[in-house]
Structure 1
Amino acid sequence: MDHPPSRPAAAQAASVAAPLGVAHPTEVLGLREAIFLILGVVIGAGIFKAPSMVAQMTGSATWMFGAWLLGGLISLIGALCYAELATAYPSAGGDYHFLRRAYGRSVAFLFGWARFSVITTGSIALLAFVFGDYLNQAVPLHVGGTSVGPAVYAFAAILVLWWVNSRGIRAGASTQSWLTAVEVGGLLLIVVAALWLISGPAPAAPAAASSAAAPAPGLAAFGLAMVFVLLTFGGWNEAAYISAELKDERRNMARALVLSIVLITVLYMLVTWAYWRGLGLQGMAKSEALAADLMRVAFGSAGEKIIAVMVAIAALTSINATMIVGARTNYALGRDWPLLQKLALWDGRRGTPANAMHVQNIAALLLVGLGAWTGSGFRSMVEFTAPVFWFFFLLAGISLFVLRAREPETERPFKVPLYPLVPIVFCATCAYMLWSSLSYVYSQKLGGLNAAWIGVAVLALGCVLLLLMPRQPAGLAATAQRP
């Protein structure tokens, strides 16, 4: 682990004051900052699109709302599993640390490589383009008659947030709190729009009766709806990456995860209700831009500008949160592998993995450049690596069983209730998502090749890099394994 589960205040102060390269993560984040970080990672552009597809696949209001409620419950089950892992093994490496303890350094390296090459940096780049696309709708930017807004805004978003997070964890967390507050306010504005329509002279009247009487969706259709629901809930596991920096993580980690999932579920249910109440189930199913359609009905053309800014802010919030947690995986890699040891530099004064942050954001900028050059091909390439994510997510869930059996003497401040039933449900869900994502990717093509080969290529390249890695010196191994 990167630090003991609890340390005296004097030791923490000494760590903060330690010179670069010697300092380690310290407990500087409170419960509020952790909740805002989780909210920022999870609530992205998906809630503005996914409810339309869920409405199509479920076919009735009852099943639609049931799907979102079930998504919150499954996320809560997963959060309880991660709360045990993160409190028993607090580390800036998060999932990487759990995988290393359960399966060894090679599996953890492949995860770290996949996260660096696609999962994190690719997400930052894609979110930057979402920010650019929507901000360009509100404030178009052209050069010589050519629209350059999306790419320029994407580059600018990464550069500005890079600068913010380079100032330190407190600056990044403070920015995250403000962005998340604005983002949540934007979602509540959608609810206000529905209430405005209800109270108007000609209140909206969704076909509630007919939708409630509709037959239950087939198992395959409901399963696909759950894929979109769970993707929209995705990201809460990123809380594990701040476990080494969370004050009183024994209590606050479980609190942060549970409170965040509950808040997100309530928000998603409210926003889905607003879409349904303002547009009706059929209107939701046919809509290509749910929030924009609702805001247009409620507030006219000005509503479309508002929603464009709202989606841009949601993307910006997720970029900032992903930058914070993503760099910590690279830091953990640097602690384990001599060839990457420069990534293990921790700025004790600012509380950031300095080099890991810089390398991550440079890679994200390069991916933005690639995306500007190739267009949708880049976006598809990143999306088609979803099976890689779910594969390692499943391994992280199984690691709970492995570590309980292998390290029964380890203190576990929080234990998953109803063990082993709860983690079995979580692992079964991950396995289903892995199968669903594989089925989807296998049916797609990119550049004439089956898209399934993209994930294989990512892992294969990771294996090649693993073979090139020199053996770990005994001294570094002892440091990396420090309790």
Structure 2
Amino acid sequence: MSEEKHELKRSLGLLDATSLVAGSMIGSGIFLVTAAMARDIGSAAWILVIWLVTGLLTMSAALSYGELAGMMPNAGGQYVYIQRAYGKLISFLYGWTVFTVIQTGTIAAVAVAFANYTAVFFPILENKILTIGEGFSFTNKQVLAMFIIALLTFINTKGIRSGKIIQVVFTSAKLIALFALITLGIYIGFHTNTFADNFANMWEAKKTVLEENGTLTITKLSGIALLGAMGATIINSLFSSDAWNNVTFIAGEIKDPKKNIPRSLFLGTLIVTIIYILANIAYLALLPLNGTPDGTVVQNGIMFASQDRVGAAAASAIVGNVGVLVMAALIMVSTFGCNIGLILSGGRLFYAMAKDGLFFKQAGELNNYDVPAKALWVQCLWACFLCLTGRYGDLLAYATFASLLFYILTIGGLFILRKKEPDAERPYKAFGYPFVPILYIIITGLICIDLLIYDTRNTGLGLIIVVLGIPVYYLFMKKKE
């Protein structure tokens, strides 16, 4: 009697794929990063411009990926696109960076964000279990974060249907809650003078630094200094809008992928871009942009919102002190739903690498539910380790530069494949080709140059992580031979 053959099942429709795009993008970032952007740039108009540019960049990249997805509707997505354009070494370095930092680091960070906001309801989670010196502490929050990662991994091993149901439900819930926050925020805020005050000198940019002695140092920005500050702070909004490409990892399980992946990429990124811009308008309608530390919610403003929790401060302005609890619950829903999609999709990338002999062999196997369970558990273990170390935040910062480079490389692959394979089937062609992809490459390239200048340490460490993958690649190739 022959063994039953297991293969990936195409069971996800357009709604599921769009839900994965939007759900993976919306985590906790939109509720936090505007505070750092306010300190970095200090201008209501420039903050909205940065969010708009982020949205346009994300959408233009998604539209370019649509062509690649139509050509290669296979599990692994971006890894497969890079391999076809540049070869196995570069695609492995992408997969290596995704595994060591980008995907697992994001999963860890989102899980810890979930635990942080759960602690609002259950303060016992703040208790430390173990402390070693001043550099390491292990808390109940980390235990909860690892438990959530393991739970969502277990759910995903029980079949694509289990994961997609939770993904759709939680994405729908957080979209509804976000629309409620935006609608109420704009309605209430526009009945005050806050929005008008924030836009009184809307193009006047300044950097605000809180010194150790409690004083504020304010530096006016213009010309090259302004462009440099914008290029550095746009990383906040770019990472809040990241993970949209995760849907390409599960191409092997999407119905009619040649049509549905490009459509889901466009719809998902468009929805999130609109939500993010409207959320920031709501913040600016409810809270003063400038503020002082250690004051009331209003006195702190967006710039010095407690622990950068701009979303919680905005909710407090709408419903009073209970707003903190409302926002904590919303972020718990948001991060839980975000991680179910990140975990689901990441395993498929490592499955594709294993099939090429460039990852642990067992990760290329499917279980009785036709999902790469072992790849999911390897991902789970590393993500939990990052939770344990507490260094996932640093790793994410290091990977920022490398992640942007791989986006540039992937979209550059459009031009290479158009030349190498002019007759290849292209059910969907990149919108605005060649102008939109070229514009994305130029703008993102300038951001990378800006990061090299203004954040040399993290960009350098990001490159080191990528380069460390080279000897690992040759070890896998030697083993394969």
- Between 268-277 and 50-59, the greater mean CA deviation after superposition: 50-59
Q: 2:240 aligns with which of 224, 232, 238?
A: 232
| Other-structure match for 1:370 | 389
Q: 2:94 aligns with which of 101, 106, 111?
A: 111
Structure 1 position 44 matched with structure 2 position 27: yes
Q: Determine helix, strand or coil for the equivalent of 1:131.
A: helix
Q: Which amino acid aligns with 1:150?
A: K
| Other-structure match for 2:408 | 394
Q: Which amino acid aligns with 1:415?
A: K
Q: Which amino acid aligns with 2:316?
A: R
| Other-structure match for 1:252 | 260
Q: Determine helix, strand or coil for the equivalent of 2:426.
A: coil
Q: Which amino acid aligns with 1:284?
A: I
User: Where does 1:95-134 land on structure 2 (aligned, <5 Å)?
Assistant: 95-134=78-117
Relative distance call for 1:406 and 1:194 in structure 2 (3 A) is same
Q: 1:284 aligns with which of 282, 289, 302?
A: 302
Tell me, in whole angstroms, the C-alpha distance in 2 between the residues paired with 1:385 and 1:144. 30
| Other-structure match for 2:201 | 211
CA contact (8 A) 1:206 1:281 kept: no
CA contact (8 A) 2:358 2:473 kept: no
| Other-structure match for 1:463 | 470
Q: Which amino acid aligns with 1:267?
A: I
Q: Determine helix, strand or coil for the equivalent of 2:152.
A: helix
Question: Deviation at 1:389?
Answer: 1.6
Aligned length: 442
**Residue ranges of structure 2 left out of the alignment (5+ in a row):** 130-137, 206-220, 291-300
Q: Determine helix, strand or coil for the equivalent of 2:75.
A: coil
Relative distance call for 1:456 and 1:212 in structure 2 (3 A) is closer
Q: Determine helix, strand or coil for the equivalent of 2:200.
A: helix
Q: Which amino acid aligns with 1:455?
A: G
Residues 94-120 of structure 1, C-alpha deviation per residue, up to 9 Å, x if partnerless? 111011111111211122111111111
Tell me, in whole angstroms, the C-alpha distance in 2 between the residues paired with 1:395 and 1:19. 41
Q: 1:268 aligns with which of 258, 276, 291?
A: 276
Q: 2:343 aligns with which of 323, 335, 354?
A: 323
Tell me, in whole angstroms, the C-alpha distance in 1 between the residues paired with 2:330 and 2:203. 35
- Between 203-212 and 311-320, the greater mean CA deviation after superposition: 203-212
Residues 281-337 of structure 1, C-alpha deviation per residue, up to 9 Å, x if partnerless? 333234332111122222222111111222222222221111111111110111111
CA contact (8 A) 1:166 1:354 kept: yes
| Other-structure match for 1:183 | 174
> RMSD between aligned alpha carbons?
2.7
Tell me, in whole angstroms, the C-alpha distance in 1 between the residues paired with 2:149 and 2:321. 30
Question: Deviation at 1:198?
Answer: 4.2
Q: Which amino acid aligns with 1:67?
A: I
Per the normalisation by structure 1, the TM-score is: 0.84
Tell me, in whole angstroms, the C-alpha distance in 1 between the residues paired with 2:428 and 2:479. 33
| Other-structure match for 1:354 | 373
Question: Deviation at 1:25?
Answer: 2.4
Question: Deviation at 1:228?
Answer: 2.4
Q: 2:8 aligns with which of 25, 31, 54?
A: 25
Question: Deviation at 1:234?
Answer: 1.5
Relative distance call for 1:211 and 1:138 in structure 2 (3 A) is farther
Q: 2:155 aligns with which of 159, 164, 174?
A: 164
User: Where does 1:284-323 land on structure 2 (aligned, <5 Å)?
Assistant: 284-287=302-305, 288-323=308-343
Q: 1:153 aligns with which of 144, 148, 151?
A: 144
Structure 1 position 54 matched with structure 2 position 37: yes
Relative distance call for 1:59 and 1:362 in structure 2 (3 A) is closer
Residues 393-428 of structure 1, C-alpha deviation per residue, up to 9 Å, x if partnerless? 221111111111111121000001332111111222
- Between 326-335 and 202-211, the greater mean CA deviation after superposition: 202-211
Tell me, in whole angstroms, the C-alpha distance in 2 between the residues paired with 1:452 and 1:63. 24
Question: Deviation at 1:78?
Answer: 0.6
Tell me, in whole angstroms, the C-alpha distance in 1 between the residues paired with 2:450 and 2:7. 40
Structure 1 position 242 matched with structure 2 position 250: yes
| Other-structure match for 2:68 | 85
Tell me, in whole angstroms, the C-alpha distance in 2 between the residues paired with 1:185 and 1:441. 37
Relative distance call for 1:105 and 1:195 in structure 2 (3 A) is closer
Q: Which amino acid aligns with 1:188?
A: F
Question: Deviation at 1:53?
Answer: 3.3
CA contact (8 A) 1:206 1:276 kept: no
Tell me, in whole angstroms, the C-alpha distance in 2 between the residues paired with 1:413 and 1:99. 19
Q: Determine helix, strand or coil for the equivalent of 2:255.
A: coil
Q: 2:119 aligns with which of 129, 132, 136?
A: 136
| Other-structure match for 1:10 | none
Structure 1 position 414 matched with structure 2 position 432: no
Q: Percent identity?
A: 28
Q: Which amino acid aligns with 1:340?
A: F
